[in-house]
A and B are shown apart, each in its own frame.
Chain A
Amino acid sequence: MPIEELRFHAQALRSLKLIDYGEPPRFKGVELTELGMFITNLTTEDEPILAGDLVQTKTGVKPLGQLLKDIRRKVLQMVAEAGSGHLGASMSIVDILAILYFMKMQHDPSNPDWAERDRLILSKGHAAPALYAVLSEAGYFPEEELNTLRELDSRLHGHPDTITPGVDVDTGSLGQGLSVAVGMALAAKMDEASYRIYVVLGDGELNEGQVWEAAMTAAHYGLDNIVVIVDRNQYQLTGTTEQVKTVEPVSEKWRAFGWNVMNVSGHDVYAVLDALEVCEHTKGRPHVIVAKTTKGKGVSFMEGNRFSRSVPNASQLRQALEELERD
């Protein structure tokens, strides 16, 4: 077995807290063999856990890269099955949602109403397929349900609804999520609760005036328990954001409104994690991470073009799934 693979397993054991690093180190109370010690020592306590390498899903531990592929595959399949849905806008936020749900947020899929959980509002509600795939992967509801997207009597509506386990706020009408987050953040402050409210906004959504009403309110009250992630995928329905209504300079706008602003690549796991970390240590201001992403990310013929609003036919779906597997 290659040494890198051994190191990978050692990190897995550590990230799952299965090794007790006492003298001598133990695995579930059992002393380790020499080989076990060797493998364990491939990773040391002061070496940061590469959280991005392994994540816990309902089916067990898997490498993040595999998880992201799995989610993208499910998004493609569910939209193809439903016959409609916003594929490109879903694909661009897969990484961000996966990072939040599998590496950042405190939440419990077996207890969706856990009072201390971190909350997420998908204000760009048309990306619901990505949220559903992530919630299912996390264990909020059975994977088979993904095939019922947009069907009569399904719990997976065209846009997020609280009927879906794990969804806290109805969205779909753009521009409303941040105001709701402000109310939730004010309630958390009143209750002296420490949970955070994450909000995913689209860049086209920034056209909506209510976003800026809410941005002003959040800054006025210094709501540092709000973290907005702007999915800067550069496209909206009828063209690029700059063709439809110039949205730049995005970061300067938020900064002028009094927010703590960070710019990252929304597909760079560690950059996003670092930015989220900064949010936790910056007090007194709400946070926004402007995440540059690619619409339709992961499928060559969808990336950064208007195909991403279409639904793939059978051969396109096959090609897309093959590409995902290859990468």
Chain B
Amino acid sequence: MQLKAQVEYFGRALVEKGATDPDLVVLDADVSDSTKTGFFQEAYPDRFIQVGISEQDLVGVASGLAVSGKTPVAAAFATFIVGRAWEQVLNTVARQNLNVKLVGTHSGLSPSADGESHQSIADIAAVRVIPYISVVVPADAPAAGCLTREMIDRRGPVYLRLPRGATPTIYPDDVELSIGRAETITEGSDVAVVAAGNMVHVALQAAESLRGNGVEAKVVDMHTVKPLDTSAVVESAKETGAVVTVEEHSVLGGLGGAVSEVLSENYPTPLRRVGVMDRFGVSSRNYQRLLERYGLTPTAVAEAAKQALEAKKK
């Protein structure tokens, strides 16, 4: 299995779309080396706007460009573009349903060494409650490239959430995904594991070990947390009768919250949520060790699956 960086694929997709879309404009808050929007800057310097370390202004300037018919993509670290500029996203971008694309990199625990100030455990929940805006969380680098192109082609506000660094790859480079449509990666009838982002790979590993124990797990890549593919959620619950959600985000308000809401209203099903348990992250030089500390591992997912299966039997 290869490791590839989602931000690299995102950066290259921007350059590719920039060639055919003269209205595509990319904005940065002094982190283009990390977000890889520097690729676009190099290719189209006249359509690259640097606003400096000011995320509220970043989102506002992007809004003005959208008002004037441009397709702005504003990228910065997830916790800052969403947290620092949340009310700008709500009151200026979403309220007018502007065609602004917000990209938060360094999501979840992925900036592990930087610690909790730079990690992002609440961004999905924070954006999900804002009307009109879509929330997209690619599972790997090819998915990030594909969903970046999809995001640009789709009118209206989108929040794209990417991790820092290279992560395991599950899709081929030419994968085709569609915003709002869940992707079933592995079929299984005993339990459904609904995952987003890096955690799709963890879910697949968990499914592998469950299979060794005679449990057939269905793995769903829920790359769009909003609008949620509710029929995929309900169908998965009907097929298996037990559901586990996995995300590199708080268990409150994100994918786990969204799936719980849908199932409790439409098809109440035993469910377990794997994610950050309502607490902050911490510094770790090694990202993998941090994921282990926070229970974002195949073992933890398999354990949650067993618990959901137990609950189903009752």
Q: State the A residues within 8 Å of B (CB).
A: 161-162, 168-170, 172-173, 175-176, 178-188, 190-191, 209-210, 213-214, 216-217, 220
A210 touches B60 (CB 8 A): yes
**A184 with B64, Cβ < 8 A, contacts A170-B91, A176-B88, A216-B52 known:** yes
Contacts of A173 in B (CB 8 A): 87, 91-92
Please name the 10 residue pairs, one residue from A and one from B, whose CB atoms are nearest each other, closest first.
Answer: A183-B64, A179-B60, A187-B68, A213-B57, A213-B54, A180-B64, A183-B61, A184-B64, A183-B65, A173-B91
Q: How far is the CA of A8 from the CA of B66 in the complex (A)?
A: 45
A173, A175, A176 — which one has the most chain B CB atoms within 10 A of its CB? A176
A-B contact count (CB 8 A): 97
A-B contact pairs, 27 of them (CB 8 A): A161-B95, A169-B92, A170-B96, A173-B87, A173-B92, A178-B60, A179-B57, A179-B88, A180-B60, A180-B64, A180-B92, A182-B57, A182-B61, A183-B64, A183-B67, A183-B68, A187-B64, A187-B69, A190-B46, A190-B70, A209-B56, A210-B54, A210-B60, A213-B51, A214-B60, A214-B61, A217-B52
Beyond known contacts A172-B91, A183-B67: 7 more, CB 8 A cutoff: A176-B92, A178-B60, A179-B60, A183-B65, A183-B66, A184-B65, A210-B57
Chain B residues contacting A187 (CB-CB under 8 Å) are 25, 64-65, 67-70
Residue of B nearest to A175 (CB): B56
Known contacts A170-B91, A170-B95, A217-B52; is A179 also within 8 Å of B68 by CB? no
- The verdict on B275 contacting chain A, using a C-beta distance below 8 Å, is no
- Pick the residue among A161, A168, A188, A217 that contacts B61 (CB under 8 A): A217
B38 contacts the other chain (CB 8 A): no
Task: Let me know if B62 is at the binding interface, CB within 8 A.
Answer: yes
Q: Are B67 and A168 in contact, with the CB atoms below 8 A?
A: yes
Residues of A within 8 A of B54 (CB): 210, 213, 216-217
**Please, which residues of chain A bring their CB within 8 A of the CB of B87?**
173
Which residues from A are CB-within-8-Å of B25? 187, 190
Least CB separation from B69: chain A residue: A187
Known A183-B72, A209-B56; contact A217-B51, beta-carbon cutoff 8 A:
yes
Q: B residues near A, CB below 8 A?
A: 25, 46-47, 49, 51-52, 54, 56-57, 59-70, 72, 87-88, 91-92, 95-96
**CB <8 Å contact, A181 and B91:** no
Question: Is the beta-carbon distance between A169 and B67 smaller than 8 angstroms?
Answer: yes
A179 vs B70: C-alpha distance when bound (angstroms): 15
* Among B47, B61, B88, contact of A190 (Cβ-Cβ < 8 Å): B47
Q: Is the beta-carbon distance between B56 and A186 smaller than 8 angstroms?
A: no
- A180 CA to B59 CA in the complex, in Å? 8
How many angstroms between the C-alpha atoms of A220 and B87 in the bound complex?
25
- Contact present for A186 and B57 (CB under 8 Å): no
Residues of A within 8 A of B63 (CB): 169, 179-180, 183
Question: What is the distance, in angstroms, from B54's C-beta to the closest C-beta of chain A?
Answer: 4
Closest chain B CB from A124 CB (angstroms): 14
Q: Closest approach, in angstroms, between the C-beta of B64 and any C-beta of chain A? A: 2
Residues of B within 8 A of A175 (CB): 56
Q: Which residue of chain A has its CB nearest to the CB of B47?
A: A190
**Which residues of A are found within 8 Å of B49, using beta-carbon distances?**
186
Contact of B60 among A182, A185, A190 (CB under 8 A): A182
